[in-house]
Structure 1
């Protein structure tokens, strides 16, 4: 398991387990199984409504835990984190993220100031953001002097957000990819399937290995216990420079699948 060093000096596993859309009643089983195959990072969020189950699945395990502040709590972050911690059964999380900037409401600078205080109080060991574009990052860094440790963004072979990833790299921010498999659609792309067939890997393993090769943190989600071990084994898949370049070439300007952070 490769760890990435964050700009606050802490380390974070590069490969993690996403839990989006896994119901609270089922997620504990998935999390326990994921920890069993070797995952050491679990990602959840208040809006996933599964923090209680994630906490149950992680009971007595000190794996790296991420949760997120939802859009209607930007001015109430301390109470929101307390609610998440109560559900998770934790005194602190390893990483707390602002889920979306919501620029139309424009409270995200206040939210970032609150996260800094929560980090200083020890309730969030590291802090970061999700779905922040460079203009949003510029504002919070300028206002506080504190740079997020992580920026979790939609990133997959057909939507690579190179400008944002480059900004993150230039500022020492770890890029973490959500929907890294393109919500499953990219698994059927003939370019991915061709590489997978040639090197004896699954399409999902090829895509995860590409994220890892790019230096991104990646949090593939599966509700299928059997796929957990396969996804974890993507760390053993080595792509050639030509394979990486071929996947790089899949980028599409209009490849976004989720909401646009500038107007969500």
Structure 2
């Protein structure tokens, strides 16, 4: 190839690359309104964005994986926790976290009710942006210690993950034990149960610990304070999954105004067979 041919090759290649780049850029801008859920950007969402910036939330939290990584990524937080929980949390974070147990303290920003609602609207808009699966998983930061060990919950999960495939990636045979299948669902259902519940005694996160759940269920069923429809431990656990407000766990950090903070989407997200498997797993915590 002589100098003239080399020059032509370089110019043509550059021209093609530029055209491809411009085409991809134009196509990206064409898709932005749909991908970003632009039709849902209301004045309240815009105000919520301003609240996010005014209070420097990104100094601790991340959106779409971008931020300080000191506190959890909030890209899908409204899908994992819901507006009632977030409202109560933002009004008084100290009810949910304390520095001694969780090694971090969410400051109370003293937001007005209007600013809290706007911030949640903004985060809900973020949660519905088509982010092409990024970040690939919720970034959960608990810091709560496992009793009797020097490991945090997140460290324990990481150690377990290093020894075996994630539950959602394990091959499952039709003959696998229902409890094993329920454990896989516990760690892979959406919203993921481990985002709010631990299975370690005494370790309460956004939701109460599930250690000793079966024993507590028996006590609840025998209590005059229970007015639900369940007659057995298994029925009570199932009811708690699909209709969490039927019985409100003691403690105002778990509910507000007679409504549990637990999501109510599992009845639609899980099949009856999957619910049976999840109940079997949870009922094993005596």
* Structure 1 length-normalised TM: 0.25
Larger Rg: 2
Which one has a larger percent strand, Structure 1 or Structure 2? 1
Which one has a larger percent helix, Structure 1 or Structure 2? 2
* Structure 2 length-normalised TM: 0.23
Relative contact order: is structure 1 or structure 2 higher (C-alpha 8 Å, sep ≥ 6)?
1
